[in-house]
Amino acid sequence: MLNITLAQINPTVGDIEGNVRKILDVLKEVNGTTHVVVFPELAISGYMPDDLLLRIDFLEECTKAIGRLREESNRLSPLIVVGSPYHDGDTYNSLFLIHRGEIKGIYSKHFLPNYSVFDEKRYFNSGREDLLISLNGYYVGFSICEDIWHPDGVERRLALKGAQLIININASPYYRGKYEFKESFVKARAQDNICYVAYLNMAGAHEELVFDGRSFIVDPEGKIIFRAKAFEEDVSTVTLDLDKVKKRRLIDLRLRDGGMGGRCEDIREIRVEKVKGTFEPKVEPSPEGTEELYTALVTGTKEYVLKNGFRKVVVGLSGGIDSSLTACIVTDALGKENVTGVYMPSRFSSSEGFEDARTLAENLGIYFHTLSIDHIFESYLDEFKRELGDLPFDTADENLQARIRANILFYMSNKFDWLVIATSNKSESAVGYTTIYGDMAGGFAPLKDVYKTEVYELAKYRNELGKVIPERVFQKPPSAELRPNQTDQDTLPPYPLLDEILKYYIEEGLSFKEIVSRGIDEETVRKVLKMIRRSEYKRRQAPVGIKVTPRAFGKDWRMPIVNRFPF
């Protein structure tokens, strides 16, 4: 029997001292009850440090942190498995085995992801050597994140050398639908290699990345026998019967032809003294669908605000669906006492908008202020008229109102040290239906990667938890209320159709002709793709927001602003 502790922690990028303290707290808590304690990928530095990895002083501090753990391990019984940057002539994304004052092994990640939000080849060199140990007589192998995505890679070699347990440490970012896929292929690795696989993920968030936790262990039959909590820290110890692997391999000889036998004589042996207790595995529930998405948004918002040293936020409320959902997210993330909603009417604002914004604030229990912008707007118009003469009312006058509102929010931000929360969603950002330096502006955008149709789904879900958004918000046509009788559909296709086109183009990478071939009107597709193209310069200046789809605007989307390639 082997006791393994999966420490699904939430490190902070650059807080090396704080991360080490968190690791030591876990180790002291489980000392004497487990043979091995496993921490996530780059747990020492936090994921992802980006260009901090190009600073030698940062790498030296990571090395010192490993040294501190090595010293502390003299007073601890378990084998420690921890991820950290490792600089040894070149820089590697590595995993350290530490026990009783010694570094017992170092494994460096073989497969470096360089797609989507990942730039690991910019910072790291690939490892070449496998790492397999004998831990109290059981063969345990190690890999890091992307390594396990390759079916004939590291895990296969480890199994052929006799590994009964493979420990894979991760900082795997969330997006909708990814967890189910991860479960399926890790199950396949365990079944194909007739071994246990312990998949440890990080919790928390860093900037646009959310780490959903949900670490799990799969047995040799492909069954999930343990799952940690979703989207939060969780330290759990599980007792594994690794003799089950030997029994399975006696009757399932698929690994024999690969030369499994006789490969373990020179493997380093590590003995951990007898531990107390056996621990039955738990399988925590895994949220799905809209619940999962909402939890990811709340987690990402909370982490971004608090890790940047803020405690309170301010959000502009209009009585519309986007600002209502945004207010719910930040309230659930930070607590009602830390959220202020500001309603800023102009001559075009409806009485219904005010009533719905006030009712929402009352239901949530957040602070609520009304600051009219009409006199400020009028002073702008008077000044322009004096200098430029009479000009017709157009988009410039509409956007001026949005920018006045942004000025008010940022004044309050500067005055009270509140973070401004933007309310724009992915559909609006995609086609530029958001005002740069206006409603698009903010320090953080929870809905940045959420389509408009999903905004309604999320708002309905939040009301199922407790009705806070007035029903009228769901019924009235979306409107910026910047001119009389304005609705979004005056210039945009219906949102279900718009979102369908956007998903085809952004996430599936379909061309203009391919989208039209799906039965969508040619002129509508052309109009939408032109709007996407024209809005690129805006998106480049947008605030950071949470990635929840396979392809988000941000690191995930790197289209040139100057671009004459036909869409």
Active site residues: 41, 109, 145
Both tokens of 330, joined, read 């930040």
Phi, psi at 411, each rounded to 5°: -65, -45
φ/ψ (deg, to 5) at 93: -90, 105
How far is it, in rounded angstroms, from Cα 325 to Cα 557?
A: 25
185, two tokens: 């292929």
330 in Cβ contact with 443 (< 8 Å): no
Q: Output the CA–CA distances (angstroms, integers) from residue 17 to 21, 24, 42, 63, 395, in the order listed.
A: 6, 11, 14, 12, 51
Q: Which residue has the tokens 């397999």?
A: 132
Angle between helices 321-334 and 351-364 (to 10 degrees): 20
Whether 14 contacts 48, CB under 8 Å: no
CA-closest candidate to residue 42, choices 116, 99, 101, 120: 120
Kindly give, in sequence order, each residue whose CB lies less than 8 Å from that of residue 520, ignoring residues fewer than 6 positions away.
497, 500, 501
Q: At what angle do helices 395-416 and 374-388 cross, to 10 degrees?
A: 130
Residues constituting the chain: 567
Q: How far apart are the first and last CA of the chain?
A: 59
Closest residue by Cα to residue 172 from 196, 197, 204, 125: 204
Q: Which of 360, 560, 531 is nearest to 432 (CA)?
A: 531
133, 103 in Cβ contact below 8 A?
no
**Is the distance from CB of 117 to CB of 549 less than 8 angstroms?**
no
> Tokens standing for 106?
């170092």
Strand 132-135 to strand 269-270: parallel, antiparallel, or no bridges (unpaired)? parallel
In contact, 469 and 324? CB cutoff 8 Å: yes
Distances (CA, A) of 502 to 191, 251, 309: 38, 51, 35
- Contacts of residue 196, Cβ cutoff 8 Å, sequence gap at least 6: 164, 165, 166, 190, 217, 218, 219, 220, 240, 242, 244, 245
Phi-psi region of 164 (alpha: psi -120 to 50; beta: other; left: phi over 0): alpha
Residue 273's Cβ-count burial label (10 Å; 0-12, 13-18, 19+) is: exposed
Look at residues 243, 107, 224 and name the one whose alpha carbon lies nearest to residue 164.
243
What is the separation of C-alpha 117 from the centre of its chain, rounded to a whole number of angstroms? 10
Contact 237, 4 (CB under 8 A): yes
- Say which amino acid occupies 387: E
Phi, psi values for residue 502, rounded to 5°: -60, -40
Give the C-alpha separation, 17 to 308, whole Å: 17
